A and B are shown apart, each in its own frame.
Chain A
């Protein structure tokens, strides 16, 4: 138990640093702005207590907000993702994973189940964040393009990082 808490804190710091120091300064082709920090929410064990998930979401969002100088946006969207996370878990894990320490990783889910989960999760998050950030429908198609391209970039980044660094517990 305490091991997974330390692992969680370690993930939090590393992912937050990658987001703040590298990805926030990045702009690819004028559209792509990967928000890798959402990966942290995926990495929480699916049996984590609900309040812990919500608080982690808020803290991660808030930290990214503070260092981007854009208060509250990431926090609000990420807390919402924490709220609908049980829904995703219900759909993608049909009781057959009796081991509650399971996490949303390629090693434990298999790529065919992991990819739709990660993609849809990231897409919902990006959709909310980018529309919320602009807060108008004025440049709707431009925003939509940004959402799609950034979602693909973030998902790709998550898959690569997952394959490189996350090992199966079994």
Chain B
């Protein structure tokens, strides 16, 4: 389950969007970007494993505290106790199979109750966790392009503007060279370019349709930098997953611009693996701290 890639989550959560929801997400993303620019900036100069560990520990402890104050602690403790009692009962009263099955039924019911009781803290934590994971993904999900390393940039157009696919052009930029393209696919309302960075740094690549310009961040370098894979359309799920750049408005001809950044190869701070590592570390940290702050989870 955990091996599901961060970006595969995208497909799982995509769907419903509401008229007002994107604006809320835009505000939250703005807030998260400001916080992250302060609190996550050390990732840039720390070793990946260390920063991933620190982030995991801190978020684990913070979430545990949130859990403590948003959950029905006494009900959770009681349910835990009931589950434990029933587990002990399995060892004490094992002669009668009917008694055993009844006890197991109660364990299942207890597990269900535990899930229900975790619903409220889960809901409360969903928003901050999505924002935090969105920010962490910027750092760990992909690595920046290296100088001279080619990548494909994809621009997705709105289906109602058929001319845009043919009119779009890549604006020349000092730090980035065009190697191939544009490749236009009118049936999918897409245009591709292969680009090649010439200098390290955080660049902006822009495309133009007539007098309109659309930009996309491009991270180039060797270490850790926030890498925005996609400038998203104005859909709240997409905006949550790609929080760094402002979304395109629904009226815009361009709906998204995506750059195929390479995977980062690391067990702790690499593509996909960072999420598993973060989850494990945050769990371990919270379990370790649990007795000290007296939380029933």
Query: Does A associate with B in a complex?
Result: no
Residues of A within 8 A of B (CB): none
Residues of B within 8 A of A (CB): none
